[in-house]
Structure 1
């Protein structure tokens, strides 16, 4: 089978197309024929040495997310059957050759989820890291729900920083599906249009001198929850718009090198800073997140494409290095790799 591999960390040029033996599922595992692979920032960061970089003699297959069809099942697997359409999450986590940039991969069944009939493989490959991260960020608030469903965020205001990014896009959609008033912040007008297309009721340029005043005009008492892509860079704005007991769920620190925590201001507001990383949230959190994400998909709440605020950029498997470069260079939207025929 065809696969993309790398044996040492580095630039996208370390990614090479090769042939690998067809892997076999063990007990509790399933083999999936990958139709579409999704690329996220975590993929190029790992490849470049910032995460699970390959050591000497180790062959790594990149990419955490994907969608395809169950091709074989190991013993003790009852949740899925051969022929089931599925989406994957954390495929390469602690599994060097488990990534989705290959025609087949074998994963623990806990990382493989049914793909609703209404969803295509492009949507399935766009879930994983973005959707599950967004779900986690929306379900860790002190006063908020632990699961998402229609109406559970009714009456609450959610501020989504970086509303044109993949996680921000999913957070806007999931929060709207759950009934929240969603405010998104962006850096320019093009991204503002994408955040609005995703479903944000209000969009604010975070660079504007009156950004805090504009957000306060929408949420006079302060926002209830913040989904944060740059906890350091946006700290001053967050302190200006948070109400008492706001939870700031941070999944990244883009554009910032540090986090200038104002302890006094945070204490006065009883703020909760919740840091979010999918790799260590545990199997139960992933399962619950996937269940809620699938419910949102069935309700038509998670579309992708430029008309839904998330442009799609396509590459062939042999162009995986170019796909990684696109994400690394800040491509706006979702980068997908066509691996096998649907």
Structure 2
């Protein structure tokens, strides 16, 4: 089989296309013939600097394809099942940048026939992170579904990004009023296409006043991608007992907290990453995201607010460069 691997940390040039024997599923695992691999910032960050846990690693956490073999203890009826994959390369050497990969059976989630492999490969990290961001509020639900966020106001910072896009779609599916902040008119069109009820350019005018006009009582949940840059705005619009769910700090600006201000407001500040969220939390997120997919609530493509940028397997290094360069949209690697 063809696979992309790296044997040392470094830039995209450490990625090499090689021929390998297809992996054999161990007990409790399935083998998937990968159709499309999804690329996330965590993929290039692991390649660039995370300690090498294996002599050779095939990158990428997310993907979609068809199960073609199962290990002992897995129902053989799953052979031939279309699936989406998450956390394939988490603590394992077999990510989705290959013609075949193996994962624990629970990390291969059934993909409905009406959902294509592009959608499946775009789920994973963005959708599960978005679910976590929306389910940690003190006064909010722990599970998502239609009506779960009724009467709540969600602010999706950076609504043109992959996670922001998923936040908008999941929050809208769950019944929230969704506000998104963006930095340009082009990104505003994407956030609107994703389903945001209100889109605000945070670089123009008075974004706090605009948000307060929409939500006079304040925002219930902020899904934050750039805490250092946006904390002042978040606090200006957050309601008492509101939650700031932080999944990144784009730009790397240091974060300074006014402790007294947060105490008076009873702010909940939730930092999140999938790896340490816990298996029960991840399982709940997977179940809810799968339900949203069945409801048709998570479409991708430019007409739905998330342009797809495609590369063939032998240009995986260029796919990494695109993600590192903050290209707007979802970067996919075609394996077929």
Counterpart among 56, 61, 64 of residue 59 in structure 1: 56
The answer on 1:200 being equivalent to 2:196 is: yes
Task: Decide whether the 8 Å contact of 1:99 with 1:105 is kept in 2.
Answer: yes
Secondary structure of residue in 1 paired with 2:78: coil
Conservation of the 8 A alpha-carbon contact between 1:88 and 1:111: yes
The Cα shift of 1:250 comes to 0.4
**Which residue of structure 1 lines up, in the alignment, with residue 122 of structure 2?**
126
Closer, same or farther: CA 8–291 of 1 in aligned 2, 3 Å: same
Q: Partner of 1:184 in structure 2?
A: 180
Kept in 2, the 8 Å contact 1:315–1:336? The answer is yes
Give the secondary structure class of the aligned counterpart of 2:221. strand
Q: Which runs of 4+ in 1 moved over 4 A?
A: none
Tell me the alpha carbon deviations over residues 52-75 of structure 1, each in whole angstroms, 9 at most, x when there is no partner: x436x7101111100000011111
Q: Does 1:92 align with 2:89?
A: yes
Match of 1:39 in 2: 39
Alignment equivalent of 2:155, drawn from 152, 156, 159 = 159
What is the Cα deviation at residue 223 of structure 1? 0.4
Q: For the residues of structure 2 that align with 1:263 and 1:79, how far apart are their CA atoms? A: 55
Q: In structure 2, what is the Cα distance between the partners aligned to 1:93 and 1:64?
A: 7
Aligned length: 336
Q: How does 1:205-216 map to 2 (within 5 A)?
A: 205-216=201-212
- Select which of 300, 303, 312 maps to 2:308: 312
Q: Distance between the aligned counterparts of 1:309 and 1:241, measured in 2? A: 25
Structure 2: runs of 5+ lacking an equivalent: none
Matches within 5 A, 1:1-342: 1-49=1-49, 51=50, 53-54=51-52, 58-78=55-75, 81-96=78-93, 98-340=94-336
Residues of 2 paired with 1:121 and 1:79: CA distance?
22
Cα RMSD for the two superposed structures: 1.2
Q: Is the 8 A contact 2:88 2:107 kept in 1?
A: yes
Greater shift, 254-263 or 214-223, is seen at 254-263
> CA offsets per residue over residues 295-339 of structure 1, 9 Å max, x none?
111211111011000000111000100101011101100111110
Contact 2:70 2:76 in 1 (8 A): no
